[in-house]
């Protein structure tokens, strides 16, 4: 999977800022397996890395598709 240079790999802090929640909330939502209601992420060393599309998938799933606008589009406004 190719990752472009749009900061598609997020840290915990970046994911928390993007979702406007605290770091603890992100930690509770993370999973190293794809599960409903969880954000799929991988650990690299002692830190988690999250792909931006996983955040978008989580939002779409969690809210029944209510968030049709991608995070990229929302941030441009």
> What are 31-63's pLDDT values in tens digits?
999 988 899 999 999 999 999 999 999 888 755
Indicate the average pLDDT of the chain. Answer: 80
**Integer Cα distance of 33 and 62 in angstroms:** 16
Domain carrying residue 50: 9-76
Is 3 among the domain residues? Answer: no
Establish if 2 belongs to a structural domain. no
Please tell me the predicted confidence (pLDDT) of residue 68. Answer: 45
Q: Please check whether residue 19 is in contact with residue 55, taking contact to mean a CB–CB distance below 8 angstroms.
A: yes
**What is the pLDDT, as a whole number, of residue 66?**
42
Please report which confidence band the pLDDT of residue 67 belongs to, taking 50, 70 and 90 as the band edges: very low
Reading the block at residue 48, the tokens are 């988690």
Total domains present in the chain: 1
Gap between the Cα atoms of 25 and 41, Å rounded: 14
Query: What pLDDT, on a 0 to 100 scale, did the predictor assign at position 38?
Result: 92
Residue 35 is predicted with a pLDDT of: 87
In a domain, 4, yes or no: no
């Amino acid at each position: 999977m190719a990752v472009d240079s749009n900061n598609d790999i997020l840290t915990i802090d970046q994911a928390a800022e993007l979702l406007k929640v605290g770091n603890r909330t992100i930690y509770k939502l993370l999973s190293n397996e794809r599960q409903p209601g969880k954000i799929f992420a991988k650990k690299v060393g002692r830190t988690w890395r999250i792909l931006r599309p996983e955040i978008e998938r989580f939002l779409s799933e969690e809210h029944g598709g209510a968030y049709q606008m991608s995070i990229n589009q929302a941030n441009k406004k």
